[in-house]
């Protein structure tokens, strides 16, 4: 993958599964009739004996995966994040999270980009749901490269991991030797006027927004949270204490996801001003992804202008206290 290249993250993830499948003979993939969409079909073509098509039956898929894991198999389950985390939410909670089953969960089509499928298919609350379950690690990779890194890391962890991917193309921002640590933020940009904390596909555009802000004389610290849970408490507190203003940016509802997690941390350990950028408490609609991202201030200009407003807001910085 070349830096700056635009690649559909689902495709990168599907290829990552094939790459991992070659390394790990005990890895299996289960999908609920959406393999051509999630791109787990690539694994199915490469390893037909290790791909299990369960049909449109997400709840059963989770149980089968949990049962398979008792024999040392490492099953990936994949379907649209919206159905994975709610239709099969109870199954994930009780048969996987509570039992610490070694099942890896891919919530594909995370957030808004669903190929114009609208309200029923957009996963605006999957991070909130998964974050609230004990024993589950929650990842939202930024780009195609990090999707591979997260998938690989998930395989190394014993226990349930939720890896969210998006349908759309995302520019590659990380080099091939990119590494992440569970519960550690990746600092992508240093700054003192505002801290922007983002996850998933929002991070590449946050980086561009930071460059825009720089031109306008505003320096932004950019923290990418590849793992929403556990979250990097230290990095958040440091941003809160040394900068005092935080914007969170996510392809998710502002309730319970990254913004929620950051607010939980700062309100308990380092109170400061936080502005959450994400989807307000509404259902999305069908239409063009970028129209909606723009509407909710989740395009580069929107992120930059919100950051500028907050950076210039008076009376809230740490210096004033």
Q: Which candidate in 58, 125, 146, 250 is catalytic? A: 58
Which part of the chain contacts another protein (CB under 8 A), choosing from 64-72, 180-188, 277-285, 287-295?
A: 64-72
Q: Which one among 17, 34, 54, 240 touches another protein, defined by CB under 8 A?
A: 54
Backbone angles phi, psi at 164, to 5 degrees: -90, 140
**208 forms part of the interface with another protein (CB under 8 A):** no
**297 forms part of the interface with another protein (CB under 8 A):** no
Q: Which one among 38, 39, 69, 79 touches another protein, defined by CB under 8 A?
A: 69
Q: Which of residues 97-126 bind another protein (CB under 8 A)?
A: 98-100
Which part of the chain contacts another protein (CB under 8 A), choosing from 96-104, 108-116, 189-197, 210-218?
A: 96-104
**132 forms part of the interface with another protein (CB under 8 A):** no
The size of the interface with another protein (CB under 8 A), counted in residues, is 25
Scored b (16 or more CB within 10 A) or e, 37-50 reads bbbbbbbbebbeeb
* CA torsion angle 106 264 122 135 (round to 10): 20
Q: What whole-number distance in Å separates Cα of residue 196 and Cα of residue 186?
A: 12
**184 forms part of the interface with another protein (CB under 8 A):** no
Both tokens of 278, joined, read: 């994400």
Strand order in the sheet with 227-229: 51-53, 27-31, 74-80, 104-108, 161-164, 137-139, 227-229
Q: Which one among 23, 71, 134, 158 touches another protein, defined by CB under 8 A?
A: 71
**55 forms part of the interface with another protein (CB under 8 A):** yes
Q: For residue 58, indicate whether it is catalytic.
A: yes
Q: What whole-number distance in Å separates Cα of residue 318 and Cα of residue 303?
A: 22
**66 forms part of the interface with another protein (CB under 8 A):** yes
Q: How far is the CB of 172 from another protein (least distance, A)?
A: 36
Which part of the chain contacts another protein (CB under 8 A), choosing from 86-94, 122-130, 147-155, 185-193?
A: 86-94
Report the candidate in 191, 297, 287, 192 with the shortest Cα–Cα distance to residue 251. Answer: 297
Q: Which one among 17, 29, 64, 303 touches another protein, defined by CB under 8 A?
A: 64
Q: How far is the CB of 32 from another protein (least distance, A)?
A: 10
Residue labelled with tokens 């993939």: 29
**317 forms part of the interface with another protein (CB under 8 A):** no
* CA torsion angle 183 184 188 189 (round to 10): 110
DSSP secondary structure string for all residues of 82-136:
HHHHHTTHHHIIIIIITTT---EEEEESBBS-SSS--TTT-BSSHHHHHHTSTT-
Active site residues: 58
Q: Which residues bind another protein (CB under 8 A)?
A: 52, 54-55, 57, 59-60, 62-71, 73, 90-91, 93-95, 98-100
């Amino acid at each position: 993958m070349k830096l700056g290249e635009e690649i559909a993250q689902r495709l990168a993830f599907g290829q990552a599964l094939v790459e991992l499948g070659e390394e790990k003979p005990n890895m299996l993939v289960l999908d609920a009739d959406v393999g051509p969409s999630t791109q787990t079909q690539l694994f199915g073509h490469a390893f037909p004996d290790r791909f299990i098509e369960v049909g449109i039956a997400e709840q059963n898929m989770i149980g089968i995966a949990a049962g398979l894991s008792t024999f040392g198999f490492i099953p990936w389950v994949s379907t649209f994040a919206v159905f994975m985390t709610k239709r099969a939410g109870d199954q994930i909670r009780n048969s996987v999270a509570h039992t610490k089953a070694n099942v890896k969960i891919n919530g594909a089509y995370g957030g808004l980009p669903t190929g114009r499928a609208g309200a029923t298919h957009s996963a605006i609350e999957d991070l909130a749901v998964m974050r609230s379950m004990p024993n589950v690690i929650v990842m939202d990779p930024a780009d195609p490269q990090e999707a591979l890194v997260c998938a690989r890391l998930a395989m190394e962890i014993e226990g349930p991991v939720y890896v969210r991917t998006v349908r759309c193309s995302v520019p590659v921002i990380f080099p091939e030797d990119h590494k992440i640590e569970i519960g550690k933020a990746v600092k992508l940009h240093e700054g003192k006027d505002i801290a922007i904390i983002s996850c998933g596909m929002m991070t590449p555009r946050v980086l561009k927004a930071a460059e825009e802000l720089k031109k306008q004389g505003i320096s932004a610290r950019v923290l990418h949270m590849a793992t929403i849970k556990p979250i990097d408490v230290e990095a958040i507190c440091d941003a809160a204490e040394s900068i005092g203003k935080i914007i969170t940016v996510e392809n998710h509802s502002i309730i319970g996801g990254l913004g929620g997690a950051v607010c939980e941390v700062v309100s308990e350990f380092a109170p400061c001003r936080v502005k959450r950028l994400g989807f307000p408490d509404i259902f999305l609609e069908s239409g063009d992804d970028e129209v909606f991202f723009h509407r909710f201030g989740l395009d580069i200009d929107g992120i930059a202008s919100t950051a500028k407003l907050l950076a210039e807001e008076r009376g809230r910085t740490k210096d004033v206290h």
